[in-house]
Amino acid sequence: MYKHKLFLILFFVALQNFAFCQNENNIWYFGSNAGLNFNTTIPTTLLNGALLHTEGVSSICDSNGDLLFYTNGIKVWNANHLQMPNGIGLGGNNSSSQIVIVPKPGDCNIYYIFTTPSQTFAGACYYTTVDMRLDNGFGDIVTKNTFLYETVSERITATLQNNNTDYWVVLQELGNNNFLTFSVTNLGVNSIPIISSSGLINATVDDAVGSMKISKNGSKLCTANELGFGKCQLFDFSNLTGIVSNGFIISDTAAYGVEFSDDDSKLYLCRYGKFRLTQYDLSSNNPTTIKNSELLLANNFTENGGSLQKAPNNKIYVARASKTFLDEINNPNVLGVSCGYINNSINLNGKICQAGLPNHLKQYTGIFCGSLKATFFRTTACANNDATITAVATFGTAPYSFSIDGLAFQTSNIFLNQNNGVHEITAKDVFGVLRKVQIDIPVTNALSLSTLNIIDPNCGFADGTVTLKATNGIRPLQYSKDGINFQADSTFLNVPASTLNFVVKDINGCTATKKIILKNKNLLKVFAGRDTGIFINQTINLFAKDLTTSNFITYNWQPSYGLDNSNLQNPIATIDKDIDYEITATNAAGCTAIDTVHIDVYKEIGIFVPTAFTPNNDNKNDILKAIPRGIKQLNYFVIYNRYGQQIFYTNNFSVGWDGKIQGVIQNTNSYIWKAKGIDINGNIVNGKGMFTLLR
């Protein structure tokens, strides 16, 4: 009894292990930048592919269905759609019908890309080794174009061996009817083939064109010939020994693509030139009965067909060269037209299908490849910045470190307070192997804030208006313009020109913010004049200048002391003391502008000159001038050097000396000045003194 229990336990574990890794075919790239994602319930179109190729292509994902790389047999692109550093110059050809990717058994990091030649350039099969631990976990080529066998056709297929651990890779030799079966094990690719002979002879290079598939259960093999002898053959295949035998002609009509239904009871053939799609019933296992069961599902002599490929959803997709759609066989296990052939079933959104679709294994070893998964939960009822993400890594070798959105790695697998949206989690094992996974935190009634109406304040007044609009959240809502004082009304009045962060808060305390800038409109400017000085009781005309074409209609000068009329634009001032006048100008809209002017009042009549000046071009005391106080006329202002030589003369108060003699800059020294003028009473006024030029 113990032995029976042990066997059942081991069988159950093995079955679980075998079923685990079956998402490796979930991402397809083919044709002219076309792609499909089968990780979704309904396949979704991919538009980010870098591949441009007419025929044989292949792609591979990890056990979670996350893309690892894809290839056209010439170049290899990683999951970021960048060419691998050494990913060019593989031994395939743009016109090779098939290539295939095979994982190394027992090693989740190593993959083999098998390439075939084209009909035009008949040649050898090579394989290239990819190590996914390289290039920061995005993979790179380790060895390229390792020779496998000379003079083979374009057809290649692979299948799981009977031991559910290793793989068979099958080729056809040209010039005979030999099948070449190579074993791929945990030791690598065995370069010595198992050779079996069956069926028609591939006599010429035209016989090389077409494809080859093995049934899911590993018991049948079918070859399609598009050119040459133009016939399709069905064979027995042993997934125990790799032997191909008992071949017979299943169709006398040429075909390019071939595929088995998921239950291996039906076979489908597709012709490339003059598109033709047929079904065969294999259930009798009798060659004559099978051949006679042919059912024409579709044909169009003016269009092209291409490859057939079973997808992870067990439907078979039909390549239609140069079209932006794929055809579909919806229920391939079903006999007759009920299999559900659909023309133009999958829209490639402008990308173009060509003859080839990704050539895949139908089953994988089930070796546990490890994974990186991420989950999230919300820590509060709010839908903003409150999600906790937890990452779980099972690949490679522990311990792991984790990063989110390209930030620094940390030992914790938990990320707090994460925003809504897509986040990329990266895990790194102890040897530096990386895995990445994306997690989307959806917006679930997230409280948000926008503006419904903004009225900027007028003329510098605090009379602006802001009306807010909040969406989602749990009512009732409250609003604030400072995050402290809240109100139920979403409209704010009497708002000055400023930058404010408005806040809305729901009943759970969830918040959303909106930055709003209010600017003054119709801001006016008036100029009261430059600061000046006058002699005591001397009159001066004030003038308010409109700097913004504001069309002022009223003016008011304050204080009104010494003014003939304080409500004029240009009043006359007669004052006996220093004073500051402020002008307030108002337009028809009630907008105002304010400015001030300062007036010094001199109580002594005379001509005054500073005792020093500094002509160093700093715009401060650069020019020495005679300053009149109660003087209405300047007869002369003269400067002498210490030798009594006149070096400057003027009779204009607005003209002064710049510290140069005939353009030559003078050094620090002392000078004498003399001046004569007539005061406001008609009396002659003389002045003299000394000053110093400082450098």
Asked whether residue 390 carries a pLDDT value surpassing 90, the answer given is yes
Asked whether residue 573 carries a pLDDT value surpassing 90, the answer given is yes
Given a contact cutoff of 8 angstroms between Cβ atoms, the answer to whether 628 and 607 are in contact is yes
Given a contact cutoff of 8 angstroms between Cβ atoms, the answer to whether 448 and 512 are in contact is yes
Q: Which residue is associated with the tokens 């009594």?
A: 644
Task: Find the angle CA(105)-CA(41)-CA(258) to the nearest 5 degrees.
Answer: 60
For residues 83 and 207, the model is more confident at 83
Asked whether residue 555 carries a pLDDT value surpassing 90, the answer given is yes
To 10 degrees, the CA torsion angle through 61, 67, 71, 72?
100
Phi, psi of 581, rounded to the nearest 5 degrees: -105, 135
Q: Which residue is associated with the tokens 């304040």?
A: 457
CB atoms within 10 A of CB 549: 8
CA dist 119 and 395 (Å) reads: 42
pLDDT tier for residue 4 given thresholds of 50, 70 and 90 = very low
- Give the least confident one: 80-89, 119-128, 329-338, 472-481: 119-128
Q: Which of 664, 662, 669 is nearest to 648 (CA)?
A: 662
CA dist 670 and 81 (Å) reads: 82
Asked whether residue 16 carries a pLDDT value surpassing 90, the answer given is no
At 560, which amino acid appears?
S
Give how far Cα 109 sits from Cα of 35, 184, 395, 548, Å.
24, 15, 10, 74
- Supply the pLDDT for residue 3: 37
Highest mean pLDDT among 112-126, 236-250, 598-612: 236-250
The tens digit of pLDDT for each residue in 129-145 reads 999 878 867 889 999 99
The tens digit of pLDDT for each residue in 487-520 reads 999 999 999 989 999 999 988 788 899 999 998 8
The tens digit of pLDDT for each residue in 599-613 reads 988 788 889 899 999
What beta strand segments (E) does 108-215 contain?
A: 110-115, 123-131, 140-160, 167-173, 178-185, 188-189, 194-197, 212-214
Share of residues in the chain with pLDDT > 90 (%): 69
- Supply the pLDDT for residue 1: 35
Q: Facing residues of 123 across strands?
A: 152
Q: Which of 454, 365, 466, 436 is nearest to 159 (CA)?
A: 365
- Supply the pLDDT for residue 332: 98
At 8, which amino acid appears?
L
To 10 degrees, the CA torsion angle through 264, 269, 270, 274?
-160
CA dist 351 and 343 (Å) reads: 17
Mode of pairing for the β-strands spanning 612-613 and 684-693: parallel
- CATH number of the 27-347 domain: 2.120.10.30
Token pair of 365 as six digits: 């070893």
CB atoms within 10 A of CB 666: 16
- Supply the pLDDT for residue 381: 62
- Supply the pLDDT for residue 383: 56
The tens digit of pLDDT for each residue in 285-299 reads 999 999 999 999 999
The tens digit of pLDDT for each residue in 151-194 reads 999 999 999 999 999 999 999 999 999 999 999 999 999 999 99
Give how far Cα 560 sits from Cα of 534, 553, 556, 579, Å.
18, 19, 9, 11
CB atoms within 10 A of CB 502: 20
CA–chain centroid gap for 487, Å, is: 39
526-602 matches 448-518 in CATH topology: yes
- Element (DSSP H or E) covering residue 414: strand 414-418
- Supply the pLDDT for residue 575: 93
Q: Which of 466, 585, 476 is nearest to 524 (CA)?
A: 585
Q: Which CATH class is domain 606-693?
A: mainly beta
Q: Which of 364, 382, 259 is nearest to 319 (CA)?
A: 259
- Supply the pLDDT for residue 18: 39
From the options 3.40.50, 2.60.40, 3.30.200, 2.40.50, give the CATH code of 371-441.
2.60.40
At 343, which amino acid appears?
N
Token pair of 322 as six digits: 């140069």
Token pair of 354 as six digits: 């060509």
Q: Which of 116, 184, 122 is nearest to 147 (CA)?
A: 116
- Give the least confident one: 219-223, 474-478, 497-501, 682-686: 474-478
The domain ranges of the chain are 27-347, 371-441, 448-518, 526-602, 606-693
DSSP 37-91: E-SSSS-EE------B-SS-BEEEE-TTS-EEEEE-SSEEEETTS-EEEEEE--S
Q: Which pTM does this prediction carry? A: 0.57
CA dist 348 and 324 (Å) reads: 5
Q: Which of 16, 18, 56, 25 is nearest to 362 (CA)?
A: 25
Task: Find the angle CA(275)-CA(276)-CA(277) to the nearest 5 degrees.
Answer: 130
The tens digit of pLDDT for each residue in 443-463 reads 666 788 999 999 988 887 888
Give residues with Cβ within 8 angstroms of 257, minimum separation 6.
Answer: 211, 224, 268, 269, 270, 272, 305, 306, 307, 308, 309, 318, 319, 357
The tens digit of pLDDT for each residue in 311-320 reads 999 999 999 9
- CATH number of the 448-518 domain: 2.60.40
Mode of pairing for the β-strands spanning 532-535 and 592-602: parallel
Q: Which of 622, 553, 620, 562 is nearest to 588 (CA)?
A: 553
Q: Facing residues of 183 across strands?
A: 168
Instruction: For the sheet with 592-602, list strands across it.
Output: 532-535, 592-602, 579-587, 552-558
Task: Give the CATH architecture of domain 526-602.
Answer: Sandwich (2.60)
CA–chain centroid gap for 333, Å, is: 42
CA dist 665 and 668 (Å) reads: 10
Q: Which of 132, 114, 230 is nearest to 180 (CA)?
A: 114
- Supply the pLDDT for residue 369: 61
